[in-house]
Chain A
Amino acid sequence: MGIISRGFSGRRRDGGEKLPPGQYLVTDFPVLSAGPTPKVSTGTWQFTLKTEKGQTRSWDWAAFTALPSEQITTDIHCVTKWSKLGTMWKGVAIDTLLDGVDTGASYTMARSYGGYTTNVPLADLRAGKAWIAYEFGGKPLHPEHGGPARLLVPHLYFWKSAKWVTGIDLMERDEPGFWEQLGYHNYGDPWREQRYWGD
């Protein structure tokens, strides 16, 4: 235990038992972005999966949203300390995109409109653990929150759920993405409070 803060009792809110260490509950949906929200039209939107050998699969908006989709209800945890419980999304499982893809890769880099990148081990995107989401709360995903489509990897801190995603590269070797080069943890497990380098 750290030093005691004289006169501090804090506020234990309902739902606290579901929160990873150091997180607090919000009911709104805060935004964290490093730069302006890019304007991405579904008319020109494209998503490309690229293997470590350079083979690609691409979808435009119509083809992507015609893929089998799933309804996802999940808790999300931002490294800036807020958590939101029971958020509802619709999207395409990464398993669906990877179906039939020949790869020996263990790592991935998600790439976004605007230049943002984030790295996630491939195993963390498989087995029903990650999606490309394009609806939130039954409505098209708002641009501020990453629309038209964002990666959704809810078991990791939410910066891993890249907004405005336009592709995933499969890689044999791990590389740090945008925030991962700027002091944030390479993996980002909220339950182990892996916020920053060395956590």
Chain B
Amino acid sequence: MARAAVLGRLTWQVATLTATRDETATAKTLVLDVPGWPGHLAGQHVDVRLTAPDGYTAERSYSIASPPDGDRLELTVQRIADGEVSPYLTETLEAGDQLELRGPIGGWFVWDPDSAAPVLLVAGGSGVVPLMSMIRARARAGSGNKVPFRLIYSVRTPADALYADELTKRARDDSLGLSYVYTRMAPPGGPAPGRISATVIASAGWPARSPEPPAVFVCGPTGFVEAAARLLIDAGHAPARIKTERFGPTGT
């Protein structure tokens, strides 16, 4: 089903906003109804197109946060203060409004639910969105049938973490390994703020040399992905087992 969807022609489809959820002060999940949505694989994204009354259009890509679920699609959008599209999606768009999108896009940064390999997810900031789709897709598998998943999630402060309550629940009910790295401000009583490090990778990741080498997905801003990928390679993970997705400016 979804596999075939990757291969088809991608036509623009009309989506209707049915609900929103505030995830943080600056990020919102858009719950969309997309009649005829062809299905997707966890980790894929869509292109969104907005059209002004005079015909001017703007397109952006957004990761899918939801697991495959019929015509229902959830996108989590991080508002960029001077952005052209994200302020509209997070502040102006209301339930009942329509927008155009096409997808699913990207056949590489995807988790295959049939794979038996343990999975290590490494997220920086809103890079957790496509990884959340994987966590949610795994949650659907019957108990006893879930491959081991661990998430290392780097955020500035606890208030910046997307899906915090749901991740806590997945850790409790779903044996999701969950470790946070706080870069600016950590909760009281825990470790001081810091960056992702070899120590974090060693304690919260999977050993690289296992009978079934782990599949690793890293998503976040470019600097974060570069740093995390280097640490993972230094820890012995094969570059070919590390899939990355980057976004945002590099400052260069």
Using a CB–CB distance below 8 Å, which chain A residues touch chain B?
A: 1-12, 22, 24, 26, 28-38, 80-81, 114-115, 142, 144-145, 178-179, 181-183, 195-199
Q: Is the interface of B mostly helix, strand, loop or mixed?
A: mixed
Q: Mark B220-249, 1 if CB is under 8 A from A, else 0.
A: 001000100110110000011011101111
Check A34–B249 contact: CB distance below 8 A.
Answer: no
Check A36–B244 contact: CB distance below 8 A.
Answer: yes
Q: Give the docked Cα–Cα distance between A26 and B252 (Å).
A: 12
7 A-B pairs besides A35-B229, A196-B10 with CB distance below 8 A are: A3-B14, A7-B92, A8-B58, A32-B246, A37-B226, A183-B106, A197-B7
Check B108–A34 contact: CB distance below 8 A.
Answer: yes
Least distance between B217 CB and chain A CB atoms (Å):
11
Interface residues of B in 37-93 (CB under 8 A from A): 47, 49-53, 55-61, 84, 88, 92-93
What are 20 A-B pairs at a CB distance below 8 A? A2-B12, A2-B51, A3-B98, A7-B92, A8-B51, A8-B58, A10-B84, A24-B84, A30-B246, A30-B248, A31-B246, A33-B244, A35-B239, A36-B229, A36-B230, A36-B239, A81-B60, A144-B226, A196-B9, A197-B10
CB contacts (< 8 Å) of B55 on chain A: these are 1
Least distance between A102 CB and chain B CB atoms (Å):
36
Check B56–A10 contact: CB distance below 8 A.
Answer: yes
Contacts known (A34-B108, A36-B232, A183-B106); A10 close to B242, Cβ less than 8 A: no
Check B9–A197 contact: CB distance below 8 A.
Answer: yes
CB contacts (< 8 Å) of B247 on chain A: these are 30
Closest to B45 in A: A80
Closest to A28 in B: B249
Check B99–A183 contact: CB distance below 8 A.
Answer: no
Check A198–B10 contact: CB distance below 8 A.
Answer: yes
Q: Give the docked Cα–Cα distance between A179 and B105 (Å).
A: 11
Q: Is the interface of A mostly helix, strand, loop or mixed?
A: loop
Closest to A12 in B: B56
Check B56–A28 contact: CB distance below 8 A.
Answer: no
Check B99–A5 contact: CB distance below 8 A.
Answer: yes
Q: Give the docked Cα–Cα distance between A182 and B243 (Å).
A: 14
Q: Give the docked Cα–Cα distance between A33 and B244 (Å).
A: 7
Check B233–A7 contact: CB distance below 8 A.
Answer: no
- Contact of B250 with A by CB under 8 A: yes
Closest to B248 in A: A30
Q: Give the docked Cα–Cα distance between A142 and B223 (Å).
A: 13
CB contacts (< 8 Å) of B47 on chain A: these are 81, 195
Check B222–A3 contact: CB distance below 8 A.
Answer: no
- Contact of B23 with A by CB under 8 A: no
